Amino acid sequence: MYSNDIILPNSELSSKSTLLSNNIICSIVNKINSVGFRINSAVLEFILNNNKRYNFFIDNKYIYPLAFKNKLNSLELKELERFNSKKYLEQNILGLSFLFKDIPAFYMPVRLDYRGRLYCITEYLIYQGIELAKFLLEFNYGEKSY
């Protein structure tokens, strides 16, 4: 229905990055895109059962003390925003983990930036994300022999 270029655009560059016809980067990106993942259910269960002991994530019911303050200075506002951002990120990761925990394989498509660095297109539950996301992911198949 739609397609995206393999290279993320950069509006600051005077010209668009392109790939040469004999460049192997397309096959590398396709190979990486073909790697399936699944949720490590044992790790998810351990994280949920032991969060109070190890603080793997911020409890959804916890309210940061600065949220009760009527007037915040700029540093306090940034601190509260940082806290809320981390809390919502962790809750999104856990929510996606619950949605995907019974799915045998899902895929994370990647794209390149103009420097040749790979980035996941998806958000939150990615192997390039925070530790909580990395803990919950595992490959759905073992290593292939060629």
Please write the tens of the pLDDT for every residue from 74-86: 999 999 999 999 9
Is there a domain that residue 19 lies in?
no
Average pLDDT, integer, range 23-36 = 87
The CB density around residue 103, as the number of other CB atoms within 10 Å, is 12
Neighbour tally for 30: CB within 10 Å? 12
In a domain, 13, yes or no: no
The two tokens of residue 4 are 């995206």
In a domain, 45, yes or no: yes
Q: What is the pLDDT of residues 99-125, one digit of tens each?
A: 999 999 999 999 888 888 899 999 999
In a domain, 12, yes or no: no
pLDDT given at position 142? 66
pLDDT for 145 beyond 70: no
Euclidean distance between CA atoms 118 and 112, whole angstroms: 5
Q: Judge whether 31 lies within some domain.
A: yes
In this model, does residue 68 exceed pLDDT 80?
A: yes
Look up the pTM and report it: 0.84
Q: Does residue 8 form part of some domain? A: no
The answer to whether residues 84 and 66 touch, using CB atoms and an 8 Å cutoff, is no
11 part of a folded domain: no
The answer to the question of residue 17 being in a domain is no
- Report pLDDT for 143: 62
Question: How many structural domains comprise the chain?
Answer: 1
pLDDT value at residue 38: 97
Owning domain of residue 56:
25-139
Distance CA 144, CA 146 (A): 6
Q: Average pLDDT, stretch 28-44?
A: 93
